[in-house]
Chain A
Amino acid sequence: MDLVPVFARWLHFLAGVMWVGLLYYFNFVQVPALKAAGADGTAGGITKHVAPRALLYFRWSAVVTWVAGAALLGGNFVSAFTLAKGYAGIGVGAWLGTIMLFNVWFLIWPNQQKILGMKPATDDEKNKARRVALLTSRTNMMLSIPMLFFMAGGLTHKAAFGL
């Protein structure tokens, strides 16, 4: 048994569940909860104790998912990312995941740091950061739908998906 693809696949699934699970938590639970909590003055508990922890696991599980996915692709990495014949399905999934990883580290995280007071920001900058962080998070949620479709086909089940 070749252990690298076995453990890479397992880790890719474990970290991916955490990453996308937290992404759905933010969109389905935390955003509406903050809106309701803001109305009765209890948002502080979420922004101080919950959001920083959720973001910590969110951004690092994104990295682990990508690295484990790259290890799983192994020698197929270049073929996937260049959408070579026979690799386009998994390649599109890999590109969508890569765009999502970029969004986490270069758009969501820097803006969340301003929103949560980890970085100095004026009220105007915080309001702008809220909008960018929300739309980027929603973009990632939207991208996760085709990403998971193409990942589910992968290299092994692509025929079942007609790819």
Chain B
Amino acid sequence: MKNPLDSIWGTIISGVILTAILYLAVAKFLV
């Protein structure tokens, strides 16, 4: 599988997915 960080769009999409995961984790477990 290609590393998503090899492309700009792969990097941006990974960042948005990471934002959603962290948001859900914080909202569910840490607020």
Interface set of A (CB-CB < 8 Å, partner B): 27-28, 83, 85-86, 88-89, 92, 135, 138-139, 141-146, 149-150, 162-163
Interface set of B (CB-CB < 8 Å, partner A): 3, 5-6, 8, 11-12, 14-16, 18-19, 22-23, 26-27, 30-31
A85 to B6, CA, bound (A): 37
Q: How many A-B pairs fall under 8 Å by CB? A: 51
Pick the contact of B19: A88, A141, A146, A162 (CB < 8 A).
A146
6 pairs, CB–CB < 8 Å, chain A vs chain B: A28-B8, A88-B26, A92-B22, A142-B11, A145-B15, A146-B19
A138 to B30, CA, bound (A): 28
Give the interface SS of chain B, mostly helix, strand, loop or mixed. helix
Whether A149 contacts B19 by the Cβ 8 Å rule is yes
Give the interface SS of chain A, mostly helix, strand, loop or mixed. helix
Pick the contact of B26: A92, A143, A145 (CB < 8 A).
A92
Question: Which chain B residues lie closer than 8 Å to A27 at the CB level?
Answer: 8, 11
Whether B14 contacts A142 by the Cβ 8 Å rule is yes
Given contacts A138-B11, A145-B12, A145-B18, contact A89 B26 (CB under 8 A): yes
